[in-house]
Structure 1
Amino acid sequence: MSIDTPVTTLNAAFDDYPHTLPLKRGEVESSRIAFTFSDIKPANRFFKPMVRELKFDVSEMAIATFVQAKAYGKPLVLIPATVMGRFQHGAILCNAARPLAPAELAGKRVGVRAYSQTTAVWVRGILENDYGVDLGKVRWVTFEDGHVAEYREPDGVERASGDKNLLKMLRDGELDAAIYGADLPKDPALTSLIPDPDNAARTWYARHKVVPINHMVVVTKKLARSDPQAVTEIYRLLRRAKAAAGLPKPGEIDFLPFGLNACRGALQTIINYALQQRLIPRKLDVEELFDDTTRSLES
């Protein structure tokens, strides 16, 4: 006589991507767990409630936010499943009428939604470590707080007034450059600050062998401790959803790495960048981002 295992329903928050929609639409299912998905959009709007309130059992999260959350002792556990990754060299724009090079950034005003935004962490890290930019000589302008309440921006970071807009300030010359995430504008009046960003990014990738990860998946420590099998099942379903989306396509770089070994290089790099940029109070080990269950998950 068999005893059916009860289905555990989890509160979840994921944005709509080709590789998450099979899960959200129920095309990829489990007899072990089910999900109630949040309708909050875009993704960056549910990172703060997850970090500050543990609002969901499982959610997508910007990796810089998670690294900060871990450094400040938040009860969250990383799953080695990437839901957003991309090259970052083209994410910093300047006015095409007033072009800039990385070497000219000293004393210039550079806008970004939040200082701790993951794309900004990647871009600043690339500028500092690959182009020799002294980040302390750049005048950073932000528009909102980060997701981790305990974090304070470095001295000298300026907050734009509430009526200001990143794109308008860049167009009007109030900013010399701006860093964008997924909302990168398609505007012929703007150009990449890093010359030939696509080739620059591929050269960077060939040298570092790292995919710049933006968003991964986290669960609450409560869930990880009380039901590690559910956490393993989340990972399995995310892998199946990625496969259902046909990703990665043959011959293409896998921007959605799964498993600790595949993600280790990117995680170590973002930790190093976060420490350089004073986003975290101490250096983290990659392994401490995970628990015993999630650390062992591989692709």
Structure 2
Amino acid sequence: MTVSCSLACGRYEWTRALWDGAVSPEGVDLTLLDYHNPERFARMVNNLEFDACELSMGTYLATRERRESFPFTAIPVFPHRRFRHSYIYKRTDSGIERPSDLEGSRVGVVNWQTTTGIWQRGILGEHYGVDPERIEWHRIGEEIVPIDVPDKFDVVDVDAGGGTVPYMESLLQSGDLDAVFHPVTLDIPEAERLFADPIEEEHAYYESTSIFPIMHAIVIRDEILTDHPWIVQTLYDAFETAKQRCLERLERPQWLPVLWPEIYLEREREIMSDPWEYGLTEDNRHTLETLVEYAASQGVADRRYDIDRLFEADSLDTGTFG
């Protein structure tokens, strides 16, 4: 029996084998769809437009208390992970020299539930002593899933007119913001990173926590999970096999347009064996528990969810993968 399945996910190197057809999930006629964030998230959340979808973990957590309105469940496949110290930017003339200087400043965020912001607020609070209640947060874009931000946070809504990230950058350039929590690299002359050596900060963070922040997970419509529960295993295996193909290519990375790629990879592997691991492993559980704690304390998640209740993984066999 073959099941048709539409999957919206990013074109990462570790999903390349799925996109080019070198890897196909057994028993599934897979149609891959390419949409950028946050359009992909909104299409899934608002319209259930796909059978499966790469979804922001922040948005996913915001839906869990209203599952009847958002009938999909995650599997422990995490296509996107990223350290987030590197993406906190300040104006060069803001007077902000250290994380604690963010208190009393005006900080722009795309929205409150973005996973980037959840991690950044949580990390700054837990590891640098920054009180997020003492920051004036400027929310530039709309929430994908409606949430009630707790009153203890000072949140100012800004009408970006549809161009959320460019408008946030313009506010930083004009001096209407002192800092921004950015989703991607920012390159404007008025801005610089909060951390002068973000790689060192992120390395130290990983050494002390064993956390490589999870940003996105794959979700599947509940109707499909009910009718074809085996699809969890076959999709997991396909994602894992595609990732392994990527890692095999990195053994001889002449194709990478990067100086000294072997040295970079050696250093990365000295720090962590498999940064991109899937499944509910010990490290992934710890990472997810930390994210859930941050999301609940910030009002994105309605409560501190048990990790096993967030993922359809009871019968999942990671086998030789993990």
Q: What is the alpha-carbon distance in structure 1 between the residues aligned to residue 120 and residue 26 of structure 2?
A: 42
Percent identical residues: 27
Candidates 144, 154, 157, aligned match of 2:155: 157
Which deviations, in whole Å up to 9, do the C-alpha atoms of 1:172-199 show, x marking residues without a partner?
1110000111x32233542111342211
Which deviations, in whole Å up to 9, do the C-alpha atoms of 1:15-72 show, x marking residues without a partner?
11111121022111244112122242x1321112212332211111111111122233
User: What does residue 90 of structure 1 align with?
Assistant: 86
Which deviations, in whole Å up to 9, do the C-alpha atoms of 1:200-234 show, x marking residues without a partner?
11111111111101111111121112111122100
Q: What is the alpha-carbon distance in structure 2 between the residues aligned to residue 177 and residue 129 of structure 1?
A: 19
1:7 to 1:282, Cα distance in 2 relative to 1, 3 A? same
Amino acid at match of 2:148: R
> Is residue 59–residue 219 contact of structure 1 (8 Å, CA) maintained in 2?
yes
Query: Is residue 278 of structure 1 aligned with residue 274 of structure 2?
Result: no
User: What does residue 3 of structure 1 align with?
Assistant: none
Amino acid at match of 1:124: R
User: What does residue 59 of structure 2 align with?
Assistant: 65
> Is residue 64–residue 118 contact of structure 1 (8 Å, CA) maintained in 2?
yes
> Is residue 148–residue 299 contact of structure 2 (8 Å, CA) maintained in 1?
no
User: What does residue 15 of structure 1 align with?
Assistant: 10
> Is residue 59–residue 113 contact of structure 2 (8 Å, CA) maintained in 1?
yes
TM-aligned CA deviation for residue 96 of structure 1: 2.0
Candidates 287, 293, 296, aligned match of 1:266: 287
Amino acid at match of 1:35: L
TM-aligned CA deviation for residue 283 of structure 1: 1.4
User: What does residue 128 of structure 2 align with?
Assistant: 131
TM-aligned CA deviation for residue 98 of structure 1: 2.7
1:103 to 1:255, Cα distance in 2 relative to 1, 3 A? same
User: What does residue 24 of structure 2 align with?
Assistant: 29
Amino acid at match of 1:194: F
CA RMSD of aligned residues (A): 2.0
Amino acid at match of 1:264: R
> Is residue 106–residue 137 contact of structure 1 (8 Å, CA) maintained in 2?
yes
> Is residue 233–residue 317 contact of structure 2 (8 Å, CA) maintained in 1?
no
Amino acid at match of 2:156: E
SS at match of 1:167: helix
My pick for the range that moved more, 224-233 or 47-56, is 47-56
TM-aligned CA deviation for residue 129 of structure 1: 0.7
> Is residue 83–residue 216 contact of structure 1 (8 Å, CA) maintained in 2?
yes
Q: What is the alpha-carbon distance in structure 2 between the residues aligned to residue 15 and residue 170 of structure 1?
A: 29
1:93 to 1:124, Cα distance in 2 relative to 1, 3 A? same
Q: What is the alpha-carbon distance in structure 1 between the residues aligned to residue 39 and residue 156 of structure 2?
A: 22
TM-aligned CA deviation for residue 295 of structure 1: 5.8
